[in-house]
A and B are shown apart, each in its own frame.
Chain A
Amino acid sequence: MERSPDEPATAIAAVIALRRLADRMERDAVDAAVAQGWTWQQIAQALGVTRQAAHKRHAARFRDRSRKTEDDR
């Protein structure tokens, strides 16, 4: 199959894959920051978004984890 970056379908597929990769890297980095004790304010500042935006995007993962921990007890 033709995989030239000049072709729009190939370029758009790369954009999709890059977004997935960026999302994944962001989640990993935020997880690491939370583990190191960063506040949501600090995480938001580093990401260049509002505190509310950072919280909305990432806090659910930690709620899930704490709920799971309670369930495991």
Chain B
Amino acid sequence: MNPMNAVRDMRTIKVLLTDAERIAREMGDEEPGAEHLLLSAMGLPDGAAARALGRFGVDAARLRAAIVQEHADALAAIGIDAATVGGEGRPAAALPVEPRSRLYRSSPSAQEAFQAAGAMARSAKQRLSSAHVVLAAADVERGTLARVLDALGVERAALRDAARGELG
């Protein structure tokens, strides 16, 4: 890969991980998970992730709402009404973004998806694109992101096709 592309990849990584952490904290989570990484990818300027998910009628707002709904449904399944106990989604639940370190914080699910996205870009000798994050997201089998994609009716094989289409 030419060195300029490596520099661009580093910028992409910085925005991707910084935004994932910001989004997670806005949503009241200490660390981003794979679901926040996908939300972050949908905001990347290359637009590939947003277009790929857009084919399923999913924009960032809808994905974000589905994540909140997934946690509320999971609590409802054991008889807890999230609206009365936790005030799920209320603005006060947001955590301040800590300005401290340059170290990115993320949960294992986000790290795994991020590493998978990078590995796919490298093996295809492509610049890192938000489409690689979508490909990695489509491979996640369990956990919040997988349940949210199921709830949104996003079929994985079709999502992979959409992401690959963006990579040309």
Contact = CB atoms under 8 A, between A and B. Distances in A.
A21 B82 contact: yes
Interface stretch (A39-47, A48-56, A57-65): A57-65
A39 to B, nearest CB: 22
A10 B142 CA distance: 11
Residues of A in contact with B, size category? 20 to 34
B147 to A, nearest CB: 6
Interface in A1-36: 1, 3-5, 9-10, 12-14, 16-18, 20-21, 23-25, 27-28
B74 A14 contact: yes
Contacts of A65: 96
B93 to A, nearest CB: 6
B29 A20 contact: yes
Nearest to A60: B98
A23 B88 CA distance: 12
18 contacts: A4-B77, A5-B77, A13-B70, A13-B147, A14-B74, A16-B71, A16-B74, A16-B144, A17-B72, A18-B80, A21-B75, A21-B85, A21-B86, A23-B28, A24-B28, A24-B87, A25-B86, A64-B96
